[in-house]
Amino acid sequence: MGGRAKGLLRAPDGETIVERWRALLGASGVRDVFLVGARGTYADIPLETIDDEPGGIGPLGGLVALLGRAGETRALAVACDMPFVSESLVRRLIGAGEAAVVAPRRDNRWEPLFARYDAQRVLPVARHLAGEGAHSLQRLLDETRAIELPMCADEMNQLRDWDTPEDIESV
């Protein structure tokens, strides 16, 4: 994205993606919302940031930090480049069945950054994998026996993310 922080991009409704997520999560009953992976570009956003733990290992480091912060509760991990997710889909994820991890699957791969995690059950496994140098979120979800959040085609379409300028232009 040319060095631009994806979370500061404007979603089709005009809000930044980070602001949109904060509103969606709040409307869905989520009390504590954090930005994971402290970046100076988010300094003006009134959300607490959490540094990756450990840093430099990609998304697993951010997830370890989030789960550590969650303590004995559940945590939602959502990517800051998904501008189309609806409140109803967030509520479905929150209310999904009991499991260490609940996440959708697309093309036989987990969507680990639209997932609900039981911090107490997943954190030890995530820390172990990080210590082994195994940074795959796919492996983490497999090892914690994640359950799939079934989704229709419209819901899967809501998980489209913006990775390139062409993705934004296609809206």
Report which of 119, 116, 117, 35 is spatially closest to residue 71, judged by C-alpha positions.
Answer: 119
Residue 74 located in a structural domain: yes
Q: What is the CATH number of the domain that holds 22?
A: 3.90.550.10
Count how many domains the chain has.
1
Task: Please work out, in degrees rounded to the nearest 5, the angle formed at the alpha carbon of residue 22 by the alpha carbons of 169 and 90.
Answer: 85
Q: Please check the confidence at residue 167 and state whether its pLDDT lies above 60.
A: no
Q: Please check the confidence at residue 171 and state whether its pLDDT lies above 90.
A: no
H-run or E-run covering 75: strand 74-78
What is the rounded average pLDDT of the residues 137-161? 94
Residue 85 located in a structural domain: yes
pTM above the 0.75 mark? yes
On the CB side of 143, CA atoms within 13 Å amount to: 16
* pLDDT tens sequence across 48-73: 888 889 888 999 999 999 999 998 99
Residue 1 located in a structural domain: no
Residue 106 located in a structural domain: yes
* pLDDT tens sequence across 2-46: 456 666 656 668 788 888 888 899 999 888 888 787 677 777 778
Residue span of the structural domain in which 107 resides: 6-162
